[in-house]
Amino acid sequence: MSTRLRQPIVAVLGHVDHGKTSLLDKMRGTIVAVREAGGITQHIGASLFPLEAVVETCKALLGEIKIEKLKVPGLLFIDTPGHAAFANLRKRGGSVADLAILVVDIINGVQEQTRESIQLLKSRRTPFVVAANKIDLIMGWKPSGVTPFSKAFESQSRIAQEELEKRIYNLIGELSFFGFKADLYTRIKDFTKTLAIIPVSAKTGEGIPDLLLVLLGLAQSFMQERLLISSAVGEGVVLEVMEESGIGHTVNVILSDGILKVGDRIGLMGIDGPFSTRVKALLMPKPLDEMRDPRDRFKRVDEVEAAVGVKVVAEGLEKCLAGSPLYVIPSQDMESEILEKIKNEIGEFMITTDKIGLVLKADTLGSLEAATLYLHEKGIPVRRADIGEISKRDIVEAEIVRLKNEFLGAILAFNVRVEPDLETEANNRGIRIFKDSVLFRLVNSYIEWVEKETSARKLKAFESLVKPGKIKIMEGYVFRRSEPAIVGVEVLAGIIKPKYPLMNVKGKVVGTISQIQDKGQSIHEAGAGLKVAISMKEPVVGRHVREGEILYTSIPEQDARMLLKEYYDMLDESSKKALQEIVEIRRRVNPLWAR
């Protein structure tokens, strides 16, 4: 077994326009400018930064550290910025990425995709640092090029320094909402307990050496065991499935362990399940300074060793799924075992999981896993989770669920197309389809819809119930004694409405309100504090009801039970008080009333 360390694989995540691509480009440009030996590989899904070039960039910060003490051979950056790429880079129990950079615009702070990226990092248990980008936009900031942050900070005016400190403080507060204790990296004593914030400018270069050094230091100090190449047998993950002119379908692979050779048989996950194929060619992009000639972008190699990004050419790759694990099959008798391993590894996210639940469709395996985990964390069950565009079968599945639970009979489409005719069919069957390319936003739009519909229905049901009310017949305000009796009343608590029956303090129903008038105008209800006239056909004033008497709305027992158990929080304080008095009156006769 080899004891060689591989490069840590570093993913870059963050909200759109916060500078992920610019940061990678700036780091690449810096490394190319200072490197003395070794190439920098790109355009295969990864950029390989040799240790010598990283050290040269960081030498102003390295101080007494000798290069001999650094055993990590460099850094491999995933060169497809964004959460989707990271979502694909998964393996059993975590992520293929060893570390991550969460890029946050220091001016705008945490945004939608920042939250989604944090969710992915937490679900994969991936250590990460925060690159607080765009410090060049801080008011009064004077750029000083690719320099250590502390040196750049010292050269700023007091106003610029204070403004940056304020922004860092705000970012620390935002990260605390996600359960992270964070601080400026220069103030951290224990990097295992505190999330490092590294101020950078992807535009001008300040803080780039600090970011590279912190990543190198974290890998060197805490990840040596993880970075050991443990096997000669290649293992990795498919980042993208691409069709190359003159070659056909290929897969861009991040090889995270072992060796991959031309002629190796490999196992992958396809649309119809696991399959195997033989590697016909391995293509590596030429180093950055050799890529000016677009006619010869790749060079053929016989084998590659982890960690590296490589393009694999083989038959049948058009059916491969992005995010699929890749395993070298060392012998023919192990093929069925490895294909079964692939099936088990990702099958849990592509099968029916709950009898009653949503239908979830996503573009890649990684996206599907992230979405399934996120929904389960929110307590939302998933009936069917699958890759690809929405089909008629998905609509049928959702319709089956809708018959039992209207809110779960819906489809969530994450980053996939929905054919217009299928969307029309779904609408005709009462199936809601939610579409978005941002997971956080997609799930939130579904949750908001459920909450809105639930509230509307709850309000409708609440409105249909007879509400508690308490009135007093005012002395001297009897306008008619019978058929109908018309009296002036003061509403002491709750509300009264036409068609509400009224009872006395003994629980006897004395009549039903026919009409309510205020200053000669009919009104549909009267609340606490109002003095109005009401008419009732049944009672005779002086015989059934009297001046100065207290009356209550006679609430049906089922309505009272619902008000007590499900809608009590929707009643105002005076209505709650009136309801309690009504319940006491009723329970004097029947102790079990409305229980």
For residues 14 and 138, membership in a common domain is answered with: yes
For residues 285 and 258, membership in a common domain is answered with: yes
For residues 66 and 189, membership in a common domain is answered with: yes
Q: In the predicted model, is pLDDT for residue 69 greater than 70?
A: no
297: number of Cβ within 10 Å: 16
- Would residue 297 count as lying in a domain? yes
| Spatial separation of the C-alpha atoms in residues 313 and 150, rounded to whole Å | 47
Q: What is the DSSP letter of 228?
A: B
pLDDT at 307: 85
- In the predicted model, what is the mean pLDDT of residues 348-356? 67
**Quick one: what percent of the chain has pLDDT higher than 70?**
90
pLDDT at 214: 92
Q: In the predicted model, is pLDDT for residue 280 greater than 50?
A: yes
pLDDT at 2: 47
- Which H/E stretch holds residue 244? strand 235-244
Q: Which of 406, 431, 462 is the last residue of a domain?
A: 462
pLDDT at 288: 54
Domain count, the chain: 4
Q: In the predicted model, is pLDDT for residue 170 greater than 60?
A: yes
Domain of 446, CATH number, reads 3.40.50.10050
Which residue type does 140 have?
Answer: G
pLDDT at 346: 75
- In the predicted model, what is the mean pLDDT of residues 423-445? 89
Helix (H, G, I), strand (E, B) or coil at 534: strand
Q: What band does 63 get if pLDDT is binned at 50, 70 and 90?
A: low
Q: In the predicted model, is pLDDT for residue 348 greater than 70?
A: no
322: number of Cβ within 10 Å: 23
- Would residue 133 count as lying in a domain? yes
Per-residue pLDDT of 391-418, as tens digits, reads 999 999 999 999 999 999 999 998 888 8
pLDDT at 79: 67
Helix (H), strand (E), coil (C) string for 108-149: CCCCHHHHHHHHHHHHHCCCEEEEEECHHHCCCCCCCCCCCH
For residues 424 and 484, membership in a common domain is answered with: no
pLDDT at 291: 44
- Would residue 378 count as lying in a domain? yes
Per-residue pLDDT of 458-488, as tens digits, reads 889 899 999 999 999 999 999 999 999 999 9
Q: Which of 408, 435, 462 is the last residue of a domain?
A: 462
pLDDT at 29: 74
The first and second tokens of residue 81, run together, are 């910025």
- In the predicted model, what is the mean pLDDT of residues 190-204? 93
For residues 548 and 565, membership in a common domain is answered with: yes
- In the predicted model, what is the mean pLDDT of residues 250-257? 90
pLDDT at 48: 80
Least confident among 4-13, 59-68, 70-79:
59-68
For residues 216 and 246, membership in a common domain is answered with: no
Instruction: Write the CB contacts of 128 (distance below 8 Å, at least 6 apart in sequence).
Output: 13, 99, 100, 101, 102, 121, 195
- Between these two residues, 346 and 516, which has the higher pLDDT value? 516
- Would residue 4 count as lying in a domain? no
Q: In the predicted model, is pLDDT for residue 266 greater than 90?
A: yes
- Would residue 362 count as lying in a domain? yes
Mean pLDDT of the residues in the chain: 86
| Spatial separation of the C-alpha atoms in residues 311 and 309, rounded to whole Å | 7
- Between these two residues, 579 and 81, which has the higher pLDDT value? 579
Q: In the predicted model, is pLDDT for residue 36 greater than 50?
A: no
For residues 512 and 409, membership in a common domain is answered with: no
For residues 572 and 499, membership in a common domain is answered with: yes
Q: In the predicted model, is pLDDT for residue 352 greater than 70?
A: no
pLDDT at 66: 53
Residue that has been written with the tokens 């017949």 in this structure: 473
| Spatial separation of the C-alpha atoms in residues 371 and 446, rounded to whole Å | 13
The pTM score is: 0.67
For residues 59 and 187, membership in a common domain is answered with: yes
| Best CA proximity match to 29, nearest among 150, 203, 197 | 203
For residues 48 and 188, membership in a common domain is answered with: yes
- In the predicted model, what is the mean pLDDT of residues 151-166? 94
Instruction: Write the CB contacts of 11 (distance below 8 Å, at least 6 apart in sequence).
Output: 77, 78, 85, 86, 89, 95, 97, 99, 100, 101, 126
pLDDT at 90: 64
Domain range holding 410? 358-462
pLDDT at 364: 76
pLDDT at 510: 94
- Between these two residues, 146 and 201, which has the higher pLDDT value? 201
Per-residue pLDDT of 523-554, as tens digits, reads 999 999 999 999 999 999 999 999 999 999 99
- Between these two residues, 557 and 241, which has the higher pLDDT value? 557
Q: What band does 37 get if pLDDT is binned at 50, 70 and 90?
A: very low
Domain of 260, CATH number, reads 2.40.30.10
Residue that has been written with the tokens 């489409």 in this structure: 413
| Spatial separation of the C-alpha atoms in residues 531 and 517, rounded to whole Å | 9
For residues 44 and 61, membership in a common domain is answered with: yes
pLDDT at 68: 54
Q: What band does 187 get if pLDDT is binned at 50, 70 and 90?
A: very high
- Would residue 430 count as lying in a domain? yes
Domain of 52, CATH number, reads 3.40.50.300
Q: Which of 199, 222, 245 is the last residue of a domain?
A: 222
Q: In the predicted model, is pLDDT for residue 67 greater than 60?
A: no
- Would residue 228 count as lying in a domain? no
Q: In the predicted model, is pLDDT for residue 137 greater than 70?
A: yes
pLDDT at 34: 59
Q: In the predicted model, is pLDDT for residue 374 greater than 90?
A: no
| CA 317 to each of CA 268, 269, 275: distance values in angstroms, whole numbers, following the listed order | 9, 10, 10
| Best CA proximity match to 75, nearest among 231, 209, 204, 201 | 209
pLDDT at 125: 84
- Would residue 564 count as lying in a domain? yes
Is the CB of residue 17 less than 8 Å from the CB of residue 264?
Answer: no
pLDDT at 292: 44
For residues 211 and 300, membership in a common domain is answered with: no
181: number of Cβ within 10 Å: 11
- In the predicted model, what is the mean pLDDT of residues 266-292? 81
